[in-house]
Amino acid sequence: MTKLTYLNEPSVLDNLQRRYGLNEIYTYTGSILIAVNPFTKLPHLYNLHMMEQYKGAPFGELSPHVFAVADASYRAMMSEGLSQSILVSGESGAGKTETTKLIMQYLTYVGGRALRDDRNVEQQVLESNPLLEAFGNARTVRNDNSSRFGKFVEIQFDSNGRISGAAIRTYLLERSRVVQITNPERNYHCFYQLCASGRDAETYKLGHPSNYHYLNQSKIYELDGVSNAEEYVKTRRAMDIVGINDDEQEAIFRTLSGILHLGNVEFSPGKEHDSSAIKNQQSSFHLQMAAELFKCDVDLLLATLTTRSIQTREGIIIKALDSSAAVAGRDALAKTVYARLFDWLVQKINRSVGQDRESKMQIGVLDIYGFECFKTNSFEQFCINFANEKLQQHFNEHVFKMEQEEYQREEINWSYIEFIDNQDVLDLIEKKPIGIIALLDEACMFPKSTHESFSNKLFQNFRSHRRLERAKFSETDFTISHYAGKVNYQTETFIDKNRDYVVVEHCNLLSSSRCPFISGLFPPLPEESSRSSYKFSSVASRFKQQLQSLMETLSSTEPHYVRCVKPNSLNRPNRFESSSILHQLRCGGVLEAVRISLAGYPTRKTYHEFVDRFGIIALDIMDMGYDDKTVTEKILQRLELGNFQLGKTKVFLRAGQNGVLDSRRAEVLDSAAKHIQGRLRTFLARRDFVTMRIAALSLQTCCRGYLSRNTFTAMRETAAALVIQKYFRCWLSRCAYVKLHLTSVVIQSIICGFLTRRKFLGRKEDRAATLIQAHWRMFKVRSIYRNRQHNIVAIQCLWRKKLAKRKLRRLKKEANEAGALLLAKSKLEKQLEDLTWRLHLEKKLRMSNEDAKSVEISKLQKTVESLTLELDAAKLESLNKSMALERQLDASDKKKSAFEREIVSLTELRNENAFLKSSLTALEKKNSMLESELAQAKEEASCTVAKLREVEKMCLQLQQNLQSMEEKRSNLENENHVLRQKTLDVTPRSNRTGFAKPLLDRFSGALVPSSADKKSYESPTPSKFIPPLSGGFSDSRRTKSGMEKHQGNVEILSRCIKDDLGFKDGKPMAACVIYKCLLHWHAFESERTAIFDFIIESINDVLKEGDENATLPYWLSNTSALLCLLQRNLRSNGFLTAGSQRSAGSTGMNGRLGPKSSFKYHGLDDSLSHMEAKYPALLFKQQLTACVEKIFGLIRDNLKKEISPLLGQCIQAPKIQRVHGGKSSRSPGGVPQQSPSNEWDSIIKFLDSLMSRLRGNHVPSFFIRKLTTQVFSFINIQLFNSLLLRRECCTFSNGEYVKSGLAELEKWIVNATEEFAGTSWHELNYIRQAVGFLVIHQKRKKSLDEIRQDLCPKLTVRQIYRISTMYWDDKYGTQSVSNEVVSQMREIVNKDSQNLSSSNSFLLDDDLSIPFSTEDVYMAIPAIDPSDTELPKFFSEYPSAQLLLQNHK
C-alpha cells in the first residue's frame, strides 16, 4: 500500500475494496499485514502448495499473505536468534481466530518435528485450537465464533528450527456467559455439541438445548453451515490427539451435563422466613441428576445451595438463603465449576504438549478478544477493551515511538508525525491509587457498596478528565473514549462480577466427590480460607497483572503485526462498508503506519555492516583508506541513490534502495564469477587440446601402417583368386554339359510314353461315350413318358381339389347364414332386456295408469312369444344345415384318403428315377464342389475388397468432417477474438453505445415475439441498442459524411430490398445481389459503416408493410441464403476462398441435401483476395441470424393462429353423424369407416396452401420440414387438450370421426414425402393413442399394464384416468375400463398429487422455442454461387453501379 500514487484515505480504502472484490483479502502496509475477513471459504489460499510457495520466499516478493508474515517471523528467528511474536488484533468478528489458526498451521508445517522426538507436538498444537474453541468460543451479536477468552501460544523451537515444545496462556474467560446470555447470542459451543451427541446425550439424560435454562435464554441453537454433531466428533478427536484419555473425556462431559441439569433447578420461598426450597418435581429430578453426575450427596448439594455457614467465636451459624440468593449460589457454583474445568483443559494441553525449558527461541501468537461495543456493555466489555488499549499502546510504541526515537537518536532530518496516543486512557483505567480498577477494588471491599456509590465516586475523581464522560440518560453509566471510539458502560453488575468469591461449601462439596476428576478440580482449601464462607479476589486486578506479564513478554520479542478488518456488520460475503472499515483503519493506526513506511527509512544498517556487504561495488574507494561513513556515502553517490540519510552510527535508506544495492552487488559478483569461469574454461580447453593432438598423431601412425598391410594382403589374395576362378569355371562347364545330356534323354522318353497313353485313353473314352449315349437316349424316352403320366395325374387331382373347394365354400356360406341367425337372436335378446327394463321403470313412474300399462304389457308379451317361436325355428334350421355339412365333410375325407394312396405310388416311382440319376451325377457333384469352393473363395475376396473400400470411404469422410469442424472452431475463435478487440477499441464519441455491451446482453430476448395480437417487427439483434439511422446522421459527423458519400449505394440496396427480384434457377436473387454489392463496395473491410444497419432496418420495414403470406416466406428464403453466404465465406481473419476449404465444406453438407434441391454447389471466384473481416461485418452476421429466427417464429405463429379455429371445429363430430352413426355400423365388433367432414378437408387445403406457398418462394426443405413438424405438434396439442377438457368429445362416435380425420392427415404426410414432412406423423402420437383408446371395444377386459404398455405408451396415468372417467359410448352403450383399473389409476394419481416436485397437469404445453441453431442452417442449406447472378436492369440508372456492371460483364 505504500506504493500508492496518492497516499490518502480514499485511495487506501479504494485499494482495499478492489482487492477485496478480487478475493485478495491480504494487503501490506510496510511490514504490517491487513487481513479483510471474506466471510466465506477460500481453500485455494491455504493448501500445501501455497505453503510451499511462501516457504523461504523474501518478504514482499510474493502476494501479501498471512503465510508470508509467519515465514518472516520464522526466518528472523533463525537468522538473528531472537524470539518473535505475532500480534493478531482487530474488532470482534474480524477473523482473528482463523488467522491465528493459519499462522500456527504454517509454523507447524515449517518447523515440523524435532529430531529424535517421538511426540506429535505439531499435531497437538494444531488440535488444541478446536478444543479450546469448543470450550472458550461462543456466538455473539457480531461473530458466530467469537473468542470469549484471550490466548497466547508460545511455540518453542530448538537450534535446528524444529518445534520442541509449546505453551498456552489464557486470559479472562467470560464466566458469566455460562449462566446468562441474551438473544441472539449463544452459550459456549461445547454445551450444544453435547446435546447433539446422540448416545452420549442419552447417557447423561440430555435432550434438545431448548429444554435447559442456561441455553434457552436465546432462541439460537444452530449456526449456519455448522453441524453440532460433527463438531462434537471433532472435539473428541482433538481430545484424543492432545492426550486426554477416555476416562477423563467421560468426566469432562459428565461435568458439562451436571452444569446443564444444575441450571434447571428452580427455587421457591420456603416455609420459614427468608428460606427457600425446591420449586417442583421437575427441579427435583434435575437436582438428582446433577448430584449423580457430580457424584456427590444430593441432600448435601441441596444444603449448599439453600444455606450458608458463618464462622463466629461461639461456633458455626447456619443461615438460610432466600430463593433469589439460592439462584445466585446455583449460578456461582456453575460458573466456578466451568472455570475450573477450562483451566484444567489448558493445563492438560500444556502438560501433554510439553515445554522445552532449554529452548532459547520461540514464536508467540497472540489471539485475544477484539474491541467490543454493544448496546449493553458490562464488566466483561470493560476488561476486553482495556486489553485492546494495552495492545494498541504496544503497537504505537513499536511502530511510531520507537521508529521516531531512533531517527532522533541518530540525528537525521525527520519531520515528526502526530499519532493518537492512548496512554491517558490506560492511566485512567489502571493508575494507582486513583484509577477505575483501583476504585472498583475499593468498592468491592465494602459489603454495602453499590454501583451508585461506585459511579458517584468515579465521577468525583475524574470530573474533568477528557476521556471519561457521564452518560446522558443514566446516573450510573459512564462513557470512555477508547482508541476505537466511545463506549457506554453499565455499572449495575461491575461490583458483583469483580468479586471472585469462592464459596467454601461449594469447594468442600465437590472436593468430596466420588469422581476423581471433579474432586481434582477442587483441591482442599487451607485452614485460613476455610474459616469463612467467602474468599474475595479481584478479577480486574488479576487480569491487569496478566496483561502486564503479557506486555513484558511481547516487549522481549520482535513483534509482527496482523491487523484484521471486518468488512461489514452483517457477516455477509461480498459486502464492503466503507465507513466501518475506514474507522477501523484510523483507530488501528494503519494510515499512520503507511505514512511512516513511505516517509521514513525502513532499511537501516551500521556503517561497518554496509561496507562489509556492499564494499565490493566500489573496490577503488575501499583502497583509498576512507572511514566507513565516507565509503558509504561515496558508494551511494556513485550509484546515484538520493534521499538517503547518514546518522551517527547507521545509514538510513528509503524503501527499495536496498534492493538496488543488492542487485548491483549481485551484478559485480556475477561478473567476477564469469571472469573466473572464463579463465578456468580456457585452461581446461588448452589442456584437452594438447592431449588430443598427441593422441591424434599416434593414432594416425597406427592407421597408416594398418592400411598398408591391408593393401598388400588384398593384392596377394586377388592373384590367388584369379587362379581359383579359372579352374572352377572349367568344372562348372563340365557339370552343366553332363546334366543337360541326361535331361534331354529323360524328356524324350517321357514324351513318347505320354503320347502313347493319350491315344489309348482316347479310344477308351470313345467306347464309354457310345455306351453312355445309348443309355441316356433310353432314359430320356422313358422319363418323357413318366413326366406325361405324372402331369395327367396332377391335373386330375387339381380339378378334383377345385370341385371340393367349391363345395366347401358353399357349406361355409350356409354356416355364415346360421351365424347371422345367432346374431339376430342376440339382438332380440338385447331388445327383450331393454323392454323389461322399461317395463320396471314405467311401473315406478306411472302407478296411476295401471290399466293402460297392463294392455301394453300384454302386447309386449305377445311380441316376445312370437319372437321366441321364430328363434326356435331358426335354431332347428341351423341344426339341420349343420348335419348336412358334416355328412359332406365325411365324403370329402374319403376322397382325400384315395388321393393320398395315389400320391404314395407316385413317390415310389420318383425314388427309382432318383436312383438312376445318382450314378450319372457323381462326377457332376465333384465338379460342382470344386466350382463352389472356387466361387466361395472369389466371393470372400470380393467381400474383403468391398469392406476395405467402405472403410477407406469412412476414413475419408471422417477426415473431411474433422477438417471442417476444426475450420469452424478456428473461425469461431478468431471471430470472438476480433469481437473482443473491436469492443475494447470503440471510442466514447461513437454514437453506437450498444457496441460496448457484451453480445449476450444484446441478443437476449430477441427471438420471441412481443404478443399474440400485436406483431413486433423491430430488429431483434443489437440494433435495439444502436440508435436509428436518422438519429445516427444527426448525432455523428463521421456517420453523416459516410452516408452522404454512399447515398447511391443505399438507394440501390433499398431497391433490391423493396422490389421483388424473384428467383432464378432456385436461387434468391435479392440475397445474391446484396451480397455482390457488399463484396464490391468492400463493406466487410470497413471499421465503421452504417450500411449493415440500413439493410436490417429495411428488411424490417418490408416485413411491416408487405403481405405476411407472401413477404415472410420470400424473406425467409433470402435471409437464410444471405446468412449461408456469410457463414461459408466470412471468417474472423478474412474471406477464405481456397479450393481446399470449399471442397471440405461442400462434402460436409452433401449428405444433408435432398434430391430436389434447386441450389447448386459452386465455390467463390478464385480471383478474390484475402480481406480482413472487421467488427461491423461480424456483427451483421449476428443480426442476420436473429432476423432469420424472427421470420421463422412469425411464420410459425401466423400458422398457429390460422389453424386454431379449424381445429376447434374438427375435435367434435357433427350432430348428424352422431345421431345416425349407429345405423351405419355393421356390428359392434366392426369400426365404421366414415368419410372426413368438410372441417378436415379445410385443414388439408390449409396444409396444401402452406406447402405451395413455401415451395413457391423456394424456401429450403430444412425450414419447410421444421415448420411442418411444429404445425403438426400444435395440432396434436390442441386436439389432445380439447379432448381432455370437453366431455362431449370423449365418445365412441367422436373417436371414429377424429380417427378418420387423422387418416387423411396421414395420407397428406405420405404424399408430401419425408423431405418436406419429416417426422410429422410421430408428432401426432398423443392424439392417435387417445383416439385409439376411445374406439376399441372390450375396455373392461384390459388391465392397466396393457393400456399403458400396448395401447397408450405415450400417455401418463393422469391422462388415461381423465379419458377413462370422461368416456361414454353414445353408439353401442359399452362401458369404460373396469373399476379395479380405475381404482389403481386413482391411487397413482393421488400419490403424484402429493409429490410436489412432479407436475399435476394432464394437459400438454406448446413449445415456443426455435427448433434449430445457426450451425443447423449452415449444414442443411446447400451452397450458392452468386458469381453468375445477373444484376437487375435498374442498376444502369445509378452512376455508382456502373463499375459493378462493368466487372460483371
End-to-end CA distance of the chain: 71
d(CA 90, CA 113): 32
The three grid cell numbers given for residue 776, joined into one nine-digit string: 441316356
∠ Cα 1273 1275 1280 (to 5°) = 100
d(CA 239, CA 245): 8
Q: What's the per-residue H, E or C state across 1089-1133?
A: CCHHHHHHHHHHHHHHHCCHHHHHHHHHHHHHHHHHHHHHHEECC
Respond yes or no: is residue 257 known to be catalytic.
no
Respond yes or no: is residue 370 known to be catalytic.
yes
Residue spans of alpha helices (H) in 986-1017: 999-1003
d(CA 1350, CA 324): 81
Identified catalytic residue from 27, 73, 92, 1120: 92
d(CA 608, CA 625): 14
Beta strands in 938-1075 (DSSP E): 1063-1064, 1067-1068
Respond yes or no: is residue 625 known to be catalytic.
no
Residues in contact with 1073: Cβ distance below 8 Å, sequence separation at least 6, in sequence order: 1056, 1061, 1429, 1431, 1432
d(CA 232, CA 251): 15
Identified catalytic residue from 146, 264, 632, 1120: 146
Residues in contact with 413: Cβ distance below 8 Å, sequence separation at least 6, in sequence order: 645
- CA max distance for the chain: 166
Respond yes or no: is residue 97 known to be catalytic.
yes
Omega prior to 433 cis, within 30 of 0:
yes
Cβ neighbours around 588 below 10 Å, total: 25
Number of H helices, E strands in the chain: 50, 23
Picking from 1291, 1296, 1289, 1288, the residue whose alpha carbon sits closest to that of residue 1226 is 1296
The three grid cell numbers given for residue 1084, joined into one nine-digit string: 466487410
Respond yes or no: is residue 868 known to be catalytic.
no
How far, in whole angstroms, is CA 416 from its chain's centroid?
A: 57
134: left (phi over 0), alpha (psi -120 to 50) or beta: alpha
Omega prior to 184 cis, within 30 of 0:
yes
Identified catalytic residue from 97, 235, 1185, 1294: 97
Identified catalytic residue from 136, 329, 370, 1295: 370
Question: Which letter, b or e, does each residue of 830-850 get, where b requires 16 or more Cβ atoms within 10 Å of its Cβ?
Answer: eeeeeeeeeeeeeeeeeeeee
Respond yes or no: is residue 994 known to be catalytic.
no
Picking from 547, 422, 544, 400, the residue whose alpha carbon sits closest to that of residue 482 is 422
Identified catalytic residue from 30, 90, 93, 258: 93
480: left (phi over 0), alpha (psi -120 to 50) or beta: beta
Picking from 1380, 1405, 1239, 1236, the residue whose alpha carbon sits closest to that of residue 1326 is 1405
Residues in contact with 687: Cβ distance below 8 Å, sequence separation at least 6, in sequence order: none
The three grid cell numbers given for residue 443, joined into one nine-digit string: 468498592
Phi, psi of 169 (to 5 degrees): -120, 135
Respond yes or no: is residue 143 known to be catalytic.
yes
Sign of CA dihedral 651, 657, 663, 667: negative
Task: Return the axis-axis angle of helices 246-263 and 228-242, rounded to nearest 10°.
Answer: 140
Identified catalytic residue from 37, 99, 129, 147: 147
Phi, psi of 1107 (to 5 degrees): -70, 130
| Whether the Cβ atoms of residue 263 and residue 195 lie closer than 8 Å to each other | no
3-state secondary structure at position 88: strand
Picking from 443, 597, 639, 806, the residue whose alpha carbon sits closest to that of residue 59 is 597
d(CA 1203, CA 1221): 27
Respond yes or no: is residue 1380 known to be catalytic.
no
Residues with catalytic roles:
92-93, 97, 143, 146-147, 370, 372
